[in-house]
Amino acid sequence: MSAEVYAIASGKGGTGKTTVSINLGVSLAGLGTRVIVIDADIAMPNVGLLLGEDKINKTYHDYIAGHSSIEEIIYEGPGGLKFIPGSLTLDNIAEIDTTRVVELIDYLKHRFDFILIDTAPGISRETAVVLESADNTFLVVNPEISSVVDSLKIKVYVEMKERSIKGIILNRTNIYQIHSPSEIDESEDEIPDEDIKNILESSIYGRVPEDRIIKKASFQRVPAVLLEPSANASVFFKSIASKIAGYEYDFEYQQKVSDKSSLLKKIISLFSIRKNKNENKN
Ligand SMILES: Nc1ncnc2c1ncn2[C@@H]1O[C@H](COP(=O)(O)OP(=O)(O)O)[C@@H](O)[C@H]1O
Ligand SMILES: [Mg+2]
C-alpha cells in the first residue's frame, strides 16, 4: 500500500490552502484512513497553530536542514490526524535539499493512506520540490479572476513536471447548494465555473462556501469540521474528503442533521458518511 500524495497549492497567499489542508485531513481521518498533513510553507507555517499544538519542537524545516529525524517531526493532531509542523523561526531554513524531501515522502508513503502537503503560495524553490514530489495537486482558488489567473502558473509548472492537477477546490464561494452540489446557480457576483475551468483547463473538484465558522475555528484553534461538523463549510469539506477517499456523501442527510440539537448533531454527523462503491474515486 502506498499513500496518495497531494500538494495543496495556489498562486497567491490567503486563498485557504491551510484551511483546506487541515479540514480535509481531519475529515479523511474521520473516515478511518491514515492521514498526515505536512506544513511545507516556510513563510507562513500555521498548520500547528491552527491544530492547537503548543509544544512544537522539531519541524519539517529542521528535518530538511538535517537537524532531526523523521520520527521527531511527526505530531498527533486532533481527530486522529497526524501532522508535521513548519518552523516558526527562520534559524533553520537551509537550502532546500530535494533528496530529503523525496526521502520523507517515500518514508511516509508506506505508513499512510493520504499525505496532504500544504505549500507556500507561488512557485518558490520549496514549493517546486513539493509539486514535483506529489503525484497530484489541488489548486485552491477563490472565485475571483485574479485568484484564478494566479493559479495558472502552478498548473503549468505541475504539468511541465509531468504531474497531475487533481482539480480545483473553489474556496470562499457564495454559490453553492447544500442539497446537491451539482445544482449550482450561476450568479453575476462570482466568476462563472465555465470561465474558471476554461482558464485553468481543470475541473472543479469541490467547492467550499464562505463561512464564519472558519474564523471561529482558527480563533479556537480547532478545525472547523470538528468544532462544528454540521456548519456549511464543514459539510462541504467532508463531502470533498469523501470523494477523495471514494465514499459517497449524503448531503440531504447532513441537512436534516443540522436541525437537530447540537450534541446529537455532532454525533450523527460524524457517522453520516456512508461507505459506498469506489466509483467516485477520481
Ligand atoms: N471558506 C472560508 N470562509 C471564510 N473564511 C475563510 C475560508 N477559507 C479561508 N478563510 C480565511 O481566509 C484566510 C486565509 O486562509 P488560509 O487557510 O490561512 O490561507 P492560505 O493558507 O492559502 O494562506 C484566513 O483568515 C481564513 O480564516
Ligand atoms: Mg497557509
Identify the nearest ligand to the CA of 48 by its number: 2
**Domain ranges in the chain?**
4-280
> Does ligand 1 lie within 6 Å of residue 211's CB atom?
yes
Q: From the alpha carbon of 210, which atom of ligand 1 is closest?
A: 3
Q: Take atom 13 of ligand 1 and give the residue whose Cα is closest.
A: 14
pLDDT of amino acid 271: 52
> Does ligand 1 lie within 6 Å of residue 17's CB atom?
yes
The tens-digit pLDDT sequence of the chain (282 residues) is: 799 999 999 999 999 999 999 999 999 999 999 999 999 998 888 999 999 999 999 999 999 988 899 999 999 999 999 999 998 766 555 567 789 999 999 999 999 999 999 999 999 888 999 999 999 999 999 999 999 999 999 999 999 999 999 999 999 998 766 555 555 666 667 899 999 999 999 999 999 999 999 999 999 999 999 999 999 999 999 999 999 998 877 665 554 444 444 555 555 555 554 444 343 443
The vertex-113 CA angle with 107 and 76, nearest 5°, equals: 75
User: Residue 76's beta-bridge partner residues?
Assistant: 82
Beta strands in 174-229 (DSSP E): 204-209
CA 181 to ligand 2 center in whole angstroms? 26
Quickly list DSSP for 5-30.
EEEEE-SSTTSSHHHHHHHHHHHHHH
For domain 4-280, give the CATH superfamily: P-loop containing nucleotide triphosphate hydrolases (3.40.50.300)
> Does ligand 1 lie within 6 Å of residue 218's CB atom?
yes
CA 71 to chain centroid = 23
User: What is the SS3 assignment for 214?
Assistant: helix
CA 37 to ligand 1 center in whole angstroms? 17
Of 214, 219, 239, best ligand 1 pocket probe by most atoms within 8 Å of the beta carbon? 214
CA 217 to ligand 2 center in whole angstroms? 15
